[in-house]
Chain A
Amino acid sequence: MIYLHLFFEFFKIGIFSFGGGYATIPFLYSLSERYGWFSSADIVNMLAISQSTPGPIGINMATFAGFKTAGFLGSTVATFGIILPSVFVICVFARFLNKFQDKPSVKITLWGLRPAACAMIAYAMIKVFEVSIFSLDKFHLSGRLLDLFNFHAILLLIILVILNKKYRLNYAFQLIIAGGLGVLLM
């Protein structure tokens, strides 16, 4: 039964992948080695596609791998497999959290965690910075300092900042404008 098999493998990934989408990648490599459901080249393609389609990478990977292996039903089964453990864990955990949120020890722990979370968001920002404002590939090829920056992207950033200051745009609207400007400017 390929569907049951898919479900259990992604269920396992759902249980053991802490820390988001990228944590699933090593698991996918091991799946590809053990079952040959998809190749390692497929995994790289999946990553590229995941980054340019809506949704968290972990879910994207499960859907794509499931589809590749066993069609529509396969993708459904794999996606449910990967989210089910966390939904269950969170429903149990949330009850506990809501009850103890105001306990001093929980408050103190969260006090220490908040700045760490800020740091992680800042780190995520640096990552997005790397792929948008810098053009590292081009720089590595030519070695010229001018090629390090993507000036079109910087111009786009400036325009967005100005628009934002003036009109206070809704996020969805900002994304649409940014996509359009991307086509116009690049």
Chain B
Amino acid sequence: MKNRLRDTVELFGVFFIIGLLNFGGGYSVLPFFKQEAVEKRKWIKNEELLDYFVISQCLPGVIAVNAATLVGYRVQRSLGAVFSTLGIILPAFISILLVAILFMNFMHLKIVHDILLGINVAVLLMIFEAVLNFAKKGIVDKASFTIFALAFIACFFVSPAIIIFSAGLFGFAVKKIRGEVQ
């Protein structure tokens, strides 16, 4: 019981910080998940994190929030799921309220723009690391490289849902042809 409470508080805290550091949403939040949930706390494995993001994309809702809910569920069931979700959305909620109430006029200042540009560059670097890292786990042979290449090109033209669906089918077909599926 005590453990359950401690885990739940920790989940809330970790995702609150991730929510606070994340600008822009989607896959740009992935490096933070990797640092906190995989490397520091060992809640899940690296490839599981990647799976969670893919699954998040296929479920209704916002990717980053869905992934937080999944990790939370994994650690402490429904209670963990609810508190992880609250944790990751609270900073967004508060900051938007502040912007809406107070800071609307500051958004056009040059200094705000410069800070954000700097942050974008740092995020670029982090995502690059994440891509390298996950490529090692996900791209293991010619077939998976083909999926990667095709999916990357497809990103420019079709909706993510279609890409995920086709990649799943394609992977299944390859394994079937190779005779690895009964």
By a beta-carbon cutoff of 8 Å, the part of chain A in contact with chain B is 14-22, 48-60, 63-64, 67-68, 72, 75-76, 79, 82-83, 85-87, 89-91, 93-95, 97-98, 104-105, 108-125, 128-129, 131-133, 150, 153, 156-157, 160-161, 164, 170-172, 174-175, 177-183, 185-186
Contact = CB atoms under 8 A, between A and B. Distances in A.
B4 interface: no
Contacts of B124: 125, 128-129, 132-133, 157
A128 B60 contact: no
B144 A56 contact: no
Interface size class of B (residues with CB under 8 A): 35 or more
B181 A124 contact: no
Is chain B's binding surface mostly helix, strand, loop or mixed?
helix
Contacts of B159: 19
Given A67-B100, A125-B131, A115 B138 contact: yes
Main secondary structure of the interface of A (DSSP, over half): helix
B116 A182 contact: yes
B168 to A, nearest CB: 5
Nearest to A128: B124
B169 interface: yes
A172 B17 contact: yes
Q: For B88, B115, B174, which residue has the most chain A Cβ atoms within 10 angstroms?
A: B115
Contact of B69 (A14, A90, A172, A178): A90
